[in-house]
């Protein structure tokens, strides 16, 4: 990650969040005309207990090393949820410091699935499982997931087995996903995370740009807001299997990849001990 990219990400989040909030959101008197939307820099500075000049230096990238206390105070002032606070802290940690942030502009291994991970997927048969990359690309899968996914149209474009692309572009996604809107929200949120974490990744940027041509994605795309609500179940009106619900579990792997497991509800009920990462869903 370049210093400028890291600095811009942190500064952009500060500026964007300040613009999103209204005085009444933070307990300040509302009303009156403002030249620009959102809170004034002076108002955020008062709420965070810092000077307006110091906040200006942070927003302009002239100070790239805020203390933990300042980061926490700004997170409180800007009303971040817990998920947003974690990303805010991560951006502050990597702000202008290349040694703390891997180069995301070009990583030749990011889409390569290690043989051991492929073995894990195969060993999970007959439970559907796949490896998911940071760009929502399905990188590898076992035969159980292939049998489930093929009738859904996920393999219609062999060069683009991508959950976000399928969800927003493929007409069948809306008919087979019982709660399409919630899954769509989740994938838009996941791409927000990827963009924050990988600001130099042109493939992430290109995917988002392409998806923004679809209105359903465009109105869900919030580049600086992150949801705490992630689906832990997926329900389908499957063209060959009928109505079926899966409990979603994930296991974090190397290279920013994840193993995603779809447990049929009846299987999940019989194996409550299988909780690889409790409370986490696809791509969280």
Task: Report the predicted TM-score, pTM, of the whole model to 2 decimal places.
Answer: 0.73
d(C-alpha 120, C-alpha 128), whole Å? 12
What does the pLDDT average to over 154-164?
A: 91
Which are the contacts of 90, defined by CB distance < 8 A and separation ≥ 6? 196, 197
Assign domain 3-100 to a CATH class.
Answer: mainly alpha
Which are the contacts of 69, defined by CB distance < 8 A and separation ≥ 6? none
**Most distant pair of Cα atoms in the chain: their distance:** 63
Q: What is the mean pLDDT of the chain?
A: 84
pLDDT in tens, 133-148: 999 999 999 999 999 9
Which are the contacts of 283, defined by CB distance < 8 A and separation ≥ 6? 132, 136, 163, 186, 187, 190, 250, 258, 260
Quote the pLDDT of residue 165.
96
| SS3 (DSSP) at 260 | strand
Are the CB atoms for 142 and 114 separated by under 8 Å?
no
> Residue 228 above 80 pLDDT?
no
Instruction: In the chain, list all ranges with CATH 1.10.260.40.
Output: 3-100
What does the pLDDT average to over 27-49?
A: 86
Instruction: In the chain, list all ranges with CATH 3.30.450.180.
Output: 115-270
d(C-alpha 200, C-alpha 110), whole Å? 14
**What is the CATH number that goes with domain 115-270?**
3.30.450.180
């Amino acid at each position: 990650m370049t210093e400028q990219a890291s600095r811009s990400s942190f500064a952009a989040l500060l500026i964007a969040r300040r613009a999103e909030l209204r005085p009444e959101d933070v307990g300040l008197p509302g009303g009156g005309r403002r030249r620009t939307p959102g809170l004034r820099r002076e108002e955020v500075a008062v709420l965070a207990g810092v000077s307006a000049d110091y906040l200006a230096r942070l927003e302009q990238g002239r100070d790239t090393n805020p203390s933990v206390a300042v980061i926490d105070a700004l997170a409180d002032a800007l009303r971040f949820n817990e998920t947003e606070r974690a990303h805010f802290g991560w951006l502050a940690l990597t702000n202008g410091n290349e040694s703390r942030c891997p180069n995301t502009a070009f990583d030749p291994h990011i889409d390569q699935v290690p043989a051991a991970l492929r073995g894990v997927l195969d060993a999970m048969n007959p439970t559907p499982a796949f490896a998911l990359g940071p760009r929502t690309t399905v990188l590898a899968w076992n035969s159980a997931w292939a049998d489930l996914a093929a009738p859904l149209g996920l393999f219609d474009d062999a060069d683009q087995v991508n959950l976000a692309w399928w969800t927003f572009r493929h007409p069948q996604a809306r008919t087979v996903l019982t709660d399409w809107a919630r899954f769509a929200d989740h994938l838009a949120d996941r791409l927000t995370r990827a963009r924050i974490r990988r600001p130099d990744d042109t493939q992430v940027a290109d995917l988002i740009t392409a998806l923004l041509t679809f209105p359903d994605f465009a109105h869900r795309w919030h580049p600086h807001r992150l949801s705490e609500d992630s689906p832990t179940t997926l329900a389908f009106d499957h063209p060959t299997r009928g109505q079926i619900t899966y409990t979603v579990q994930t296991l974090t792997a190397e290279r920013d990849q994840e193993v995603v497991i779809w447990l049929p509800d009846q299987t999940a009920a019989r194996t409550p001990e299988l909780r690889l990462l409790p409370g986490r869903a696809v791509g969280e």
